[in-house]
Structure 1
Amino acid sequence: MKILLAEDDEIMRISIYDRLGKQGWRVDEAENGLAALELYQKNHYHLIVSDIRMPGLDGLSLLRNVQKNSPETDVIIMTAYGSVDDAIECLRIGAADYILKPFDMDDLIIRISRLLEAQQVKNRCEALEANCLASHDRKLIGSSKAMQKVHSLISQAAPTSATILITGESGTGKELAARAIHNASNRSDKPFVSINCAAIPEGLMESELFGHERGAFTGAEHRRKGKFELADTGTLLLDELGDLPAPLQAKLLRVLQENEFERVGGSKTVNVDVRIIACTSKDLQQEVQKGNFRQDLLYRLQVIPLEMPPLRTHKEDIGELCAFFLHEFNVLHGRSATLSEEALTRLKQYDFPGNARELRNIMERASVLTRGSTIEDNDLPLSTIDEAPDSNEDYNLGSHVAKTEERCIKKALQKSGGNRTAAAALLGISRKNLWEKIKIYNLS
């Protein structure tokens, strides 16, 4: 944290400067208002501590300048000639605090600490809000019959508190469906908490889900709430639930049935009201047969099953998805790229093993690398073009070998400038053999 100290009394300025420095804060000092203004115009400060009366420029003028140009910077006004009117005027202009001289240095430190902590909390809230807004902007796209079925099921199930199991291949939008369910529910103004069961080590998973008490294990210096407590009255998304360790499956089952649990290292029962949505790309029925997943937990989870269709089964939505993704990346990268009909046709011929996530990555790459304002067929990643199947493609091996041979001969003739002897040498065949192949393929 960086602080600007403006004080014309040298002894007072040195005393405050030393004490602020001992707190670990970076401090710049100015002996008058004009020097403080000059420093302020060159640097960013989280907080300014200024005397109200200084030669050249008083503290109120400095405060007005700060409020006009960087209102996020807090200002504490110090004065030895305090009055109620002065305090009211300072606070009216926008001072964060007002302190009378002489003051206890510890009192100043406490005031500064509170303001800086409040700034940190505000920043975290703004970041969280931005993240939530970004999440709300991302939504399920598609008007095909397959997606209409998904939307219909969401609209029916969302208003209830029933547990929902969302299945589907990776990249089909399972998390987006979970958020859509939460946003359409009567818990939409309550927390939406997500945990990826595949991304957290087994030894930490129980603490992440249920929290822990102080001293529960090495490093547990404070009590910590788990995801269930954080999601109380709201929705908890258990992503990639198929990877949940077996010992925790039994504990999860109890929470689903009783709505209660104990923190790690604790004995007090914690009651919660949480709506559970689970996602997985695994076939849980097969996992049950393998002994990796509890049958009773599966029954409890799939009260309402929702299967997200792979993109290859509803290719009619590709155009709508491309338009959505391109708008997103045009805004992000400051571009105005559009997709040509030829490129869209080529994309519709591709099966997208990575589903909508793969399409999104393709659109971002193409929107950034295209040289013009329109993404053409040849702007798409080569793997997509090469692997895109042709419905009229000939799968006969002999014909493919012949086409390849003809293409090589053409290139050799071009390379040699039509000299057949040189072309034969490039191909590693005799001149007579080359002549026969030229005749077969009707090459001049």
Structure 2
Amino acid sequence: MMEKKYLLNDIVDAMETGELQAYYQPQYNAKKGVIGGAEALVRWIKKDGTVVLPGEFIPVLEEAGQLSLVDWFVAEDACKTIKELSDKAIRISVNFGREHAKDDQFVDKLDKLVQSYGIDKNFFGVEITESDVVTDKKEVIEWVCKIEAAGYMVSIDDFGSGMSSLSFVKDVPARVLKIDRSFLNDNCLTERGRITLESVFYFAHRLKLLTVVEGVETQEQLQYINTCDCDYIQGFLFSKPVPKNEFLWMCREEAPVEIEAIDPFDSQSAVFEQVRVMIESVYKKFQLVKFANISKNSYTLMRRDNFLGTEIPETGTYDDCLKQIVDKTVPESREEVEKAFNRKSLLDAYAAGKKKVLRIAKHFDENGEIHRVGIEDYFMENEGSKDVFIVSFLQILDFDDSTYV
């Protein structure tokens, strides 16, 4: 017990004498190589130059319930750094342990700290670890909800290091997912490792989470991560944690690091990037894409970016969706469009062995202007169901004269 008390006193002294310092590890835009964020970390640099690593004193502080001392110390230094960066400011994230979840005044304290330095709270991020959520799930989730409601961006740190990752990310309203370095143990060279990492990114993108990969140390890792459409990387490949003055200089210089260009079709292993490019190209070509179950009279919009999309709900009955499309059609063509795309006609066409149904009709936009629109329904089969499915594509065909040859 005396040893812990002495250590706690020593750390307080280290704060006062400047031995305890905040270091900053930049987070780089994975494709442009520019700094887009940072994580604030703590280092204990003794007067004789000896470095006491966090692993040597953080666990003892945590066990004694005194880790908040260091958390708030680093948080204040981060606020000072953001203020010093002024118009060069980037978001700096600070780790806060789960003990803060028990503090009903946490958000008020954080607000007062941020306001005292006159900085925008969008530049101050809060990091929590996966293990914290798993340990006190309900309490931590409520805590995160309050932090997000107050306008701070929450990151889930060390994702994948525990056993309950998917379940808690579903419930925690965080906006950033920091993917643990353990996913990079095989240097992204094994098929199993690549598929696992692709799945994590797919999961994150579906939840609209920003992604940060930790522990990036090799070009092989970087190149593969970029095929997965990663947002930011954090690791020794670009920068180790650095003292404040060096970090300030890096941000002010804005000098990007060099990143090799990626050819998404050069490697057969870059499946995620190839699929992403393919989907983007489809979305650029077609202004409205929907999936429909003709047998069950239902649909889901996958994309809507034209005058039709402003009125059609994202989900509903196929019949109602068709009615809205028909209503937008010029009067002389409405009967033909309804006849071609009603559910009975589509089921008959499918039974006759047709692969698609296609019509080009004229539609009104919200301003009353007329556009040529191509409507294409492709029949899709599902081995697990006897229902008839379609994928519908709507494309505006207002080509200028120079398009025709």
**Shorter-chain TM-score tier:** under 0.3
- TM-score when normalising by structure 2: 0.24
TM-score by length of 1: 0.22
The structure with more strand, counted as a fraction of residues: 2
Q: Which is greater in Rg?
A: 1
